[in-house]
Amino acid sequence: MSATGSELLVRVAFAIGIGCLAMSALLATIALLLRAAARRRARRARRVEARWRPLLAASVHALPALPALAPRDLDPFLAVWLPMQEALRGDARDALNRVARWVGADVLARARLARRSARARLPAVAMLGHLGDAAAAPALAALMRGDGPVSLAAAQALLRIDRAAALPDVVALAAARRDWAIARLLVVLREVPATALADALAASIHHHLQPPRQRELSRLLRLAAIADPSRIEPVVRRVLDEVAAPAARAAALARVRHPAFVHHARAALLDPDGRVRAAGADALARIGAATDHAALCAALDDPDDRVRDAATSALGRLASPLAA
Amino acid sequence: MTAADWVQWGGGFFVAWFCLVNGAYLVLNLVAFVHIPRRLDAIAFDTARRNFWSAAPPVSILMPAHDEAGTIVGAVRSMLQLEYAEVEVIVVNDGSRDDTLAVLAQAFALAPDDTPVRRGPATAAVRGVWRSATFPALRVIDKDNGGKADALNAGLRHARHLLVCAVDADSVLARDGLARLVSPFLDDPLTIAAGGSVRPANGITVHDGHVERVGLPRTWLGRVQVVEYLRAFLFGRVGWAPLNAVLIVSGAFGLFRRDALLAVGGWRTGTVGEDMELVMRLHRTHRATGRPYRIAFVPDPVLWTEAPERWSVLRRQRSRWQRGLGECLAAHRALLADRRAGAAGWLAYPFFLVCEWLSPLVEVIAYLLLALGWTVGAIDGVAFAAFLLLALGTGVLLSTSALLLEELHFRTHAQRGDFVRLLAAVVIENLGYRQLTAWWRCRAMLSAALGRRAHWGRMTRSAQWQRNR
C-alpha cells in the first residue's frame, strides 16, 4: 500500500470515528429531549388525573361543576375514566357517561379515530363503545374491517353500541380473520349473552358446513366455548356426522357435554389424527363411563403425546370399573 | 512487501472489519427501530384489557435451581404472583449442596406428590417430587445433579401444560411478563418458541417477588452490563425476529411449545450453551422436515436477573458464553450449507460466526498489533489515534442507539439522572471494558481449542436486590 493509501486509510478511520461520535451525541441529545418531554407530559397527566379522579368519583352521586377538557388532556382523562367505567355498573356507569358527554370527550374521541397510531386510537374506541355512541358506528365499522389491534377493539365497541346489529358481522369476521386470536375474541365475545352468541355461532357454523368454507369451522367451534352449550349441540352433532376435517372434528368434540355424544367420543379414540383422538379422550372424561376405562388405558400407549396426556387426565376423572 | 506494507494492509483489513461488523449491528438496529413500535401496537389491545389474561393458554414454568437458597423464595413468589390466568411452577432442585430444598420446604409447606410423569428425555435420578400445600400450583422436583439442561428436561417431563417457560432461579419476572411473552403464540399458531428481554436486576427493589422500583446498579461494572444487555436484547435479538432467524432464546427467559421440545428430545446436556443449541436444533429439525414454524422474540416482557459485579465471576460468565457459542456453531455448522435453512442459515449463522464468535479474536489482534506498531514506530501517533477513535466511535454509536430505543419505547430506567449515568456507562464500556471481555473471550476460544472442558463454574450471588424490602 502506498503512502497516499495509508494516509487515506487514516483519514477514513478518523472520519468514521468522528462521524460515529457525532451521531452518538445527536442520538443522546434526542433521547434527553424525549425524556424531558415525557417528564412534562407525565407531570401534566398527573395533574389532570388528580383533578378528574375526585370529580368522576363524585359524579356517581350528583353531577359536580365540571371544568373544560382540553384535547391534549383526553388521554389522562381516559386513563381515569376507562378503569372506572369497567369497574362500575348500572347508574354509576351512566353517570360517568353523562360526564364524558358534558365535557365533550365523545367529540374528542370521535376525532381521535382518524389518527394513525393504534395506541392513540384504542382508548378512544373503548370510550365510544362504553358511551354507546351510535354516531361513531360507521367509523368504527370501517376500523373493524381494517388491520391491527384497533379492528378487534372496534368490534368490541360496536357490540356494546348495538349488539343485535353488530353480532352477525363480528362472528362472520371472527371466522375468517386469522389475525384475531381466539383468546382475544373470547374476551370480546364474553360480553355477549351466551344464548345470543350460541344462536349467532350456530347460524355461522351451518353456513360453513360445506367445503371450501370448512376451514373456519374449528375457529367458530372454539368460540362456542362461552356460548350456551344446549343451543350449540345440534350444530356440533352435524359437524361430527358430516365433516371429515380433523381440526373441525376435534373442536366439535371439545364442545360435547351430553352423554348422547358418547359414541362419537369413543369412535374418535380410533381416529387417524392425533388431535381428534386427544379430543375424544377429553370428551370421554366428561361424558364417558366406567366401560371406557380399557380404551383409555390403551390410549396411554398412543404415539401422540397429547393423546396420552388426555387419556391420563380422563382416567383420573372416570370411576374405575373396580370401584363398582 | 515490506514490514510497513504489512502494517498498512493490516490496518486496512481491521478498518474494514470494524466497519463490516458494526455495520451489520447497525442494520439490526434499524430493523429494531421499525419492528419494536409495530410490536407494541400489536399488543396494545392486550395491555389495555386486564381481563385478557383470563383467556390465555395455561403455562408450566420450569425453574432449574442449583445452590439458590438465597434467591429461590423470591423468585418463586415472583412467578406465583404473575398476572396470568393459569400457571404451574415447577422448581427443579438440581442436586444443590446448600439449603435450597429446605428453604423451599419451609417457605411453601411442601408435601410428597405422586402426579404421574410422562415419557421424555432421560435425566439424572429423581429423589422425590413435592407439592406445596399452600400453593398447589407449585411443585418441586428434587434430583441428582445433572446440570441445567438435565434439570429442564426433568421439569419438562412433569409439565402439564402445552406451553413451558424456562426461567432462571435467580430472577424476578415483571407481573405482565408472561402474558406479553405468550402473545406470539396467540398471533401465530405456528410459533414454537419465543424469547423475552433479560435485564440486570442489580439496582432494582423487589418486595415479595414484585418489582417495586427500577434503579441502576451501584457499581460501574453493573451499569456497563445494563447497557450491554439493552444492546443485546433490544436489537441484537429483535433484529432477527422478522426474518424468523432468531438463533437464541435466552435460557433465563424463554417460552416453548412442549410438544416441539419433546419432538427434538428436549435440552441437550453436555454443553454450556444449551439455550442456543436448542433453538438451532429446532430450526434444523423443522427446516429438514419442511414443517412451517416460527421462533419469535419480543422485547417488551422483562425478566430481571442478577448480573455479576465481581470481575472474576464476570470473567467466568463471559468465558462460558463464548465457549457455549463456539460449541453451538460447531454442532450446527450444517445450517450454513443447508439450502432449506432460510435466513437462519445463510444470514444469522454467518453473522454469529463472524460478528459474535470470531470478532473478539480479530479485535484483540487489532489492538495488539496497533500497540506493537506504535511501539516500533511503524504506526505514528495520528494513525494510532485514528484507529482507536474508529473502535471507540462505532461502539459508542451502537450503545447510544440502544439507549435511544429504550428511551423511545420503554423508559424502564426513569429515575432522575439514570439516563446520564447510562450515557457515561456507554463511554466507559468502550474504554477498556469491551476490550477486556474480548480478551477473556479469546482465552476461552484458546481453552476450547486446547480441548479443555467447559463448565458452569460457581456463580456467586449477592442477591442484594432481593433483600430490599
* pLDDT greater than 90 at residue B370: no
- Over residues B312-334, the pLDDT tens digits come to 999 999 999 999 999 999 999 99
What does the pLDDT read at residue A1?
45
Decide if A236 contacts A252 (C-beta within 8 A).
Answer: yes
What does the pLDDT read at residue A4?
61
Q: Is the CB of B404 less than 8 angstroms away from the CB of A13? A: no
What does the pLDDT read at residue B414?
86
Confidence of residue B454 (pLDDT cuts 50, 70, 90): low
What does the pLDDT read at residue A322?
55
* pLDDT greater than 70 at residue B150: yes
* pLDDT greater than 60 at residue B463: no
Residues of A within 8 A of B400 (CB-CB) are 23-24, 27-28, 31
Q: Is the CB of B44 less than 8 angstroms away from the CB of A122? A: yes
Confidence of residue B299 (pLDDT cuts 50, 70, 90): very high
* Selection from A263, A192, A280 nearest residue A231 by Cα: A192
Closest CA of chain B from A181, distance in Å = 5
Q: Is the CB of A19 less than 8 angstroms away from the CB of B9? A: no
Q: What is the mean pLDDT of residues B440-448?
A: 93
- Over residues A221-280, the pLDDT tens digits come to 999 999 999 999 999 999 999 999 999 999 999 999 999 999 999 999 999 999 999 999
Residues of A within 8 A of B394 (CB-CB) are 16-17, 20
Range ranked top by mean pLDDT from A86-100, B28-42, B133-147, B332-346? B133-147
Residues of A within 8 A of B388 (CB-CB) are 17
Report CA-CA distances (Å) from A197 to A54, A137, A161, A190, A202: 38, 21, 16, 9, 8
Decide if B165 contacts B171 (C-beta within 8 A).
Answer: no
Q: Is the CB of B41 less than 8 angstroms away from the CB of A19? A: no
Task: Report the largest interatomic distance among the alpha carbons of chain B, rounded to a whole angstrom.
Answer: 78
Strand B59-65, strand B87-94: pairing: parallel
Q: Could you give the 3-state DSSP secondary structure of residue B296?
A: strand
Angle of helix B434-449 relative to helix B359-376, nearest 10 degrees?
Answer: 110
- Closest residue on chain B to A7 (Cα): B383
Decide if B32 contacts A28 (C-beta within 8 A).
Answer: no
Closest CA of chain A from B247, distance in Å = 25
Decide if B90 contacts B159 (C-beta within 8 A).
Answer: yes
Q: Is the CB of B44 less than 8 angstroms away from the CB of A118? A: yes
* pLDDT greater than 90 at residue B434: yes
What does the pLDDT read at residue A273?
96
Q: What is the mean pLDDT of residues A117-138?
A: 94
Output the pTM of the full model: 0.90
Q: What is the mean pLDDT of chain A?
A: 92
Strand B87-94, strand B138-143: pairing: parallel
> Could you give the strand order of the β-sheet that contains B138-143, starting from the edge strand earlier in sequence?
B110-112, B126-132, B138-143, B87-94, B59-65, B163-167, B253-257, B191-200, B294-305, B171-173
Closest CA of chain A from B97, distance in Å = 34
* pLDDT greater than 60 at residue B51: no
Strand B171-173, strand B191-200: pairing: unpaired
Q: Is the CB of B41 less than 8 angstroms away from the CB of A118? A: yes
- Over residues B93-112, the pLDDT tens digits come to 999 999 999 999 999 999 99
> How far is A145 from A167, CA to CA, in rounded Å?
14
Residues of A within 8 A of B404 (CB-CB) are 27-28, 30-31, 34
* pLDDT greater than 50 at residue A324: no
- Which comes out higher in pLDDT, residue B119 or A15? A15
B197 burial level (CB within 10 Å; 0-12, 13-18, 19+): buried
Q: What is the mean pLDDT of residues B383-401?
A: 92
Among the listed ranges B143-147, B233-237, B261-265, which one has the minimum average pLDDT value?
B233-237
Out of B8, B160, B392, the one facing A6 most closely (by C-beta) is B8
* Selection from A15, A93, A149, A224 nearest residue B386 by Cα: A15
Q: Is the CB of A6 less than 8 angstroms away from the CB of B52? A: no
Positive or negative, the Cα torsion across B330, B332, B334, B336? negative
- Over residues B169-203, the pLDDT tens digits come to 988 888 889 999 999 998 898 999 999 999 999 99
Q: Is the CB of B54 less than 8 angstroms away from the CB of A117? A: no
Report chain A's C-alpha Rg in angstroms. Answer: 29
- Over residues A266-323, the pLDDT tens digits come to 999 999 999 999 999 999 999 999 899 999 999 999 998 889 989 988 998 886 555 4
- Over residues B4-24, the pLDDT tens digits come to 777 777 888 888 898 899 999
Amino acid at B315: R
Residues of B within 8 A of A154 (CB-CB) are none
Decide if B327 contacts B281 (C-beta within 8 A).
Answer: no
* Selection from B133, B463, B209, B432 nearest residue B311 by Cα: B432
Confidence of residue B469 (pLDDT cuts 50, 70, 90): very low
- Closest residue on chain B to A151 (Cα): B45
Out of B41, B44, B386, the one facing A13 most closely (by C-beta) is B386
Out of A9, A31, A305, the one facing B404 most closely (by C-beta) is A31
Confidence of residue B350 (pLDDT cuts 50, 70, 90): very high
Q: What is the mean pLDDT of residues B454-468?
A: 54
* Beta-carbon count within 10 A of B356 CB: 19
Q: Could you give the 3-state DSSP secondary structure of residue B43?
A: coil
- Over residues A16-70, the pLDDT tens digits come to 999 999 999 999 999 999 999 999 999 999 999 999 999 999 988 888 888 889 9
A85 burial level (CB within 10 Å; 0-12, 13-18, 19+): buried
Decide if B306 contacts B462 (C-beta within 8 A).
Answer: yes
What does the pLDDT read at residue A319?
63
Residues of B within 8 A of A180 (CB-CB) are none
Query: Chains A, B: CB contacts under 8 A, how many?
Result: 145
- Give percent of chain B above pLDDT 70: 95
What does the pLDDT read at residue A321?
57
| Chain centre to alpha carbon of residue B48 | 28
Q: What is the ipTM of this complex?
A: 0.88
What does the pLDDT read at residue A6?
77
Cis peptide before B301 (omega within 30 of 0): no
Strand B87-94, strand B110-112: pairing: unpaired
What does the pLDDT read at residue B401?
95
Q: Is the CB of B383 less than 8 angstroms away from the CB of A35? A: no
Residues of B within 8 A of A118 (CB-CB) are 41-42, 44
- DSSP H or E stretch at residue B128: strand B126-132
Closest CA of chain A from B343, distance in Å = 24
Amino acid at B397: L
